[in-house]
């Protein structure tokens, strides 16, 4: 598996979503929300990444000294189902091992407000993951942010492209904050510690 052999290799943390204000509060855009909060925490602002179809923030995560990690936060601007191309371009540019890529995304099969972290696996029908896996393989980390299943007979595509409900929005800040904490824990302390702390 292509995992970094030393602490100097950067981490590429990818928030998945769709660009544009009309999608900003969609369930499908929870990855963008987490990326925005992480950028705020490291004191950076997203900017266009050269030729890559993405916005990035470069910085460091963790306390000052040898324990901190170089990170690149990214939001692909290609729409969800084409995320793999921009992410792979960034991975090549920053020389990020596949095992140091983290996808933060919405997950239908987990209850709203629940987090699960894992390394590798299938895409479970998620078009952003499908595109990333096609571009560079499946051996990257995932921070899966539960949004639950659509009610009644609502189509999945309609559900994920709708804004969080008013009831869900009451918990959304807490949920996004906890997901950002989980990403930091994964990068700084490893998958097992992050899973034991945040998998619920």
The pLDDT of residue 5: 43
pLDDT higher than 80, residue 74: yes
Percent of residues, the chain, with pLDDT higher than 90: 89
Active site residues: 28
One DSSP character per residue, 43-64 reads T---EE-TTSSEEEEEEEESSS
The model's pLDDT over 5-48, given as tens digits with 9 standing for 90+, comes to 456 899 999 999 999 999 999 999 999 999 999 999 999 999 99
Q: Distance between CA atoms of 180 and 99, rounded to whole angstroms?
A: 19
Q: Given pLDDT bands bounded at 50, 70 and 90, which one contains residue 50?
A: confident
First to last CA, the chain: 27
- Residues 25, 42 contacting (CB under 8 angstroms): no
Query: What would you report as the CA-atom Rg of the chain, rounded to the nearest whole angstrom?
Result: 16
The pLDDT score that the predictor gives to residue 166 is 96
pLDDT tens digits, one per residue of 134-145: 999 999 999 999
**What pLDDT does 6 receive?**
55
pLDDT computed for residue 114 by the predictor = 98
Has residue 66 got a pLDDT over 90? Answer: no
């Amino acid at each position: 598996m292509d995992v970094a052999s030393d602490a100097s290799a950067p981490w590429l943390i990818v928030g998945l979503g769709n660009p544009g204000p009309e999608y900003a509060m969609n369930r499908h855009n929870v990855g963008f929300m987490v990326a925005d909060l992480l950028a705020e925490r490291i004191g950076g602002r997203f900017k266009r990444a050269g030729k890559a179809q993405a916005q990035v923030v470069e910085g460091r995560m963790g306390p000052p000294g040898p324990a901190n990690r170089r990170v690149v936060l990214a939001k692909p601007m290609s729409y969800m189902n084409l995320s793999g191309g921009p992410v792979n371009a960034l991975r090549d540019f920053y020389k990020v091992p596949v095992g140091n890529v983290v996808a933060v995304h919405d997950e239908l099969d987990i209850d709203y407000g629940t987090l699960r972290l894992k390394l590798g696996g299938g895409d479970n029908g998620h078009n952003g993951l499908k595109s990333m896996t096609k571009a560079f393989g499946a051996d990257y980390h995932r921070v899966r942010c539960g949004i639950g299943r659509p009610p009644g007979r609502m189509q999945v595509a309609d559900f994920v492209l709708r804004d969080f409900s008013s009831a869900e929005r009451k918990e959304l800040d807490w949920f996004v904050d906890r997901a950002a904490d989980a990403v930091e824990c994964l990068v700084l302390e490893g998958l097992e510690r992050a899973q034991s702390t945040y998998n619920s």
